[in-house]
Structure 1
Amino acid sequence: NEITSEQAEKCIQQIYYRRTTFNDNDMRKSICGSLKHLGSDLYTSPVHFLHELIQNAEDNFYEPSIIPCLRIELNHGYILLSNNEQGLRARDVFAICSLAVSTKTIEQEHIGEKGVGFKSVFGASNEPMLISHAWKFHFHVPGLDAMSYITPLWITDKDLPKCISKQISTFPQYTHLYLPLKFQAHTSEANSFLDQVIKAVDPCILLNMRQLKKLEIVDERQNKVTIIEKQFIGSTKLEEQSSVTFEDFTFLHLSGSVIRLHTSTGYSTFRV
């Protein structure tokens, strides 16, 4: 359901109050230890957060009339992800601001965990910022302790960085995640990290997606735009064999889909 900016701000302030006034020291230490692990130590790959966010985009809800798309903009000091989903719900915000809460259900056949997966962004940024309709908040780590990983801070439009304000104002209905990098801008470390992020976007990742149809990678450092788009061509089946035996199982009348991936270098067709 749609909520007002005032309601969203009140919700964020309530979460902030609960996080900052939690005084059970033993429990707080235990939670902080788990949060540190989730926030930056859980994944061995420095760009694993990108796979988590792509999976979250796949799991989001979309209007039937639009083509689900994730835009990834990279510049010397930040990454901005913009997704044309329906927008964050209150339950999503609570999951993001909790230790290990998921909004995904078995019935949805989703892989990712919106709350858990979001924690991986702290491997790239100490101040991730989320803008989605009425919701506008960010995190700041390290704070007083690791509870800062789940302690949201409300922001206003004047707090939005100028470098992303144009994209946000152009697509106000999108959900935007702004990640100012941990690394100093214009350094070899930052450029190496951003290069790894770009390489991590494998065009074939869309083959495993049911909803997400388009990835747009915008490298502002080189004024380069790469678009990967999936097109469903039709159904297919194994003509030569009506059944296939694998180990102790027999599969009858296997069928699949013909998928075409369009990139800047042309297109490839797959049977999946």
Structure 2
Amino acid sequence: MATPREHIEEIRKTKFSIGADGLNPLTEDLHQAINTLSAELYAKDVHFLMELIQNAEDNEYAEGVDPSLEFVITSRDVTATGAPATLLVFNNEKGFSPENIESICGIGRSTKKGNRNRGYIGEKGIGFKSVFLITAHPYLAC
């Protein structure tokens, strides 16, 4: 079984042609589709905050763990991308499964689809993409 980092690197190569030989001609189309989709769905650039809170609500937590969600804004560029500040979001969920990683890297592939009876709010597989309104390079630590 691949580590989360190896899994993400494989998605980067096969789906987005990042670090791969040759360019996938659909990569630019996908990038534009995500930008258009997020801009049209989320007219306010702060909508991503509601999506992150919703995702935390839908996360799975270990038994006996009180769920927590914390937002920290720092003037440090912790991702070394040249950003003037960084928003850090901390959540004590169980963590990403391989299916969750595939879902967040796709569109309309929510692992929560059809599970409203389990209390999930999200199900369209596009909510997280609202972060692209504020950054072209979101970083996830799994």
Structure 1-normalised TM-score?
A: 0.42
Whichever residue aligns with residue 59 of structure 2, its letter is N
Whether 1:94 aligns to 2:93 is no
Question: 2 CA distance for matches of 1:78 and 1:13?
Answer: 23
**Pair 1:29–1:74, CA change in 2 (3 A):** closer
Give 1:29 deviation, angstroms.
5.7
8 Å CA contact 2:61–2:92 kept in 1: the answer is yes
Give 1:121 deviation, angstroms.
0.7
**Pair 1:114–1:56, CA change in 2 (3 A):** farther
What is the root-mean-square deviation in Å for CA atoms of aligned residues? 2.3
Normalized per residue, the structure richer in strand is 1
**Pair 1:29–1:128, CA change in 2 (3 A):** closer
The correspondence of residues 114-153 of structure 1 with structure 2, limited to 5 A, is: 115-132=125-142
Corresponding residue number in structure 2 for 1:222: none
| Structure 1 counterpart of 2:114, from 102, 106, 123 | 106
Corresponding residue number in structure 1 for 2:61: 62
* Partner-residue secondary structure (3-state), 1:86: coil
Normalized per residue, the structure richer in helix is 2
8 Å CA contact 1:96–1:114 kept in 2: the answer is no
* Partner-residue secondary structure (3-state), 1:82: strand
The correspondence of residues 1-272 of structure 1 with structure 2, limited to 5 A, is: 7-18=3-14, 19-20=16-17, 21=22, 23=24, 25=25, 30-76=29-75, 77-107=85-115, 108-113=118-123, 115-132=125-142
Query: In terms of Rg, which structure is larger?
Result: 1
Percent identity of paired positions between Structure 1 and Structure 2 = 36
8 Å CA contact 1:95–1:114 kept in 2: the answer is no
8 Å CA contact 2:35–2:132 kept in 1: the answer is no
8 Å CA contact 2:113–2:122 kept in 1: the answer is no
Structure showing greater relative contact order (alpha-carbon pairs closer than 8 Å, 6 or more residues apart) = 2
Question: 2 CA distance for matches of 1:62 and 1:29?
Answer: 36
Give 1:42 deviation, angstroms.
2.7
* Partner-residue secondary structure (3-state), 1:81: strand
Structure 2-normalised TM-score?
A: 0.75
Question: 2 CA distance for matches of 1:62 and 1:8?
Answer: 18
The gaps in structure 2 that reach 5 residues or longer are: 76-84
